[in-house]
Amino acid sequence: MSRVFLGVGSNEGDRLKAISDAVRLLSATDGIRVTQMAMIRETEPVGGPPQGPYLNTVLELDASLLPTELLRTLQRIEQRLGRPAVHERCGPRPMDLDVLLYDDRVIAEPELVVPHPRMHERSFVLEPLAQLAPEVRHPLLQRTIAELLAQLDFRCGVRGAR
């Protein structure tokens, strides 16, 4: 089993229900066991067109799926929850599932880059990830999640979900 961390976000429709449904669908998938979920936070969007705020969290999984199999599973869940197969980059979405870390592996494939290339710049990723695994090291930057969070200059309007 591999230790995997996923970023989860939603800013269209019933955001809390979408996150709940994503966790339920992941938990029902062979080869995936959801082991932890960080507190859900409401955050302002980063980049893209004008859009509403997100609910974001991070999940920790035990997964026996290969990274590309996991990616395909995440894409199917996103589509089942209303995200079109073709979508605007950084645009609004009912569900967004991103592989942040997959063990301590570095993956650079056309459709999957792990660790997530911008995770170390985003408080809406690092804050919930630090809640679950502050000691985990970023495999490229060789800093812990807690260290990466502490060195961020900017915290993008993160607050606990109501």
93 is catalytic: yes
The residues that bridge with 42 in the sheet, in sequence order, are: 55, 159
d(CA 98, CA 88): 15
Q: Does 98 qualify as catalytic in the annotation?
A: yes
Q: Which residue's entry shows tokens 């705020």?
A: 53
CA-only gyration radius of the chain, Å: 15
Of 82, 86, 76, nearest in space to 94 by CA: 82
In which region does residue 95 sit, left (phi positive, over 0), alpha (psi from -120 to 50) or beta (all else)?
A: beta
Give DSSP secondary structure letters for 43-56.
E---SSSS-PPEEE
Q: Is 137 a catalytic residue?
A: no
Which of 15, 21, 41, 98 is an active site residue? 98
Per annotation, catalytic residue among 30, 83, 122, 155: 83
Catalytic residue of the set 15, 21, 41, 96: 96
Known active-site residue 159: no
Phi, psi (degrees; rounded to nearest 5) at 99: -75, 115
Choose the catalytic residue: 15, 41, 93, 122.
93
- Catalytically annotated residues: 83, 93, 96, 98
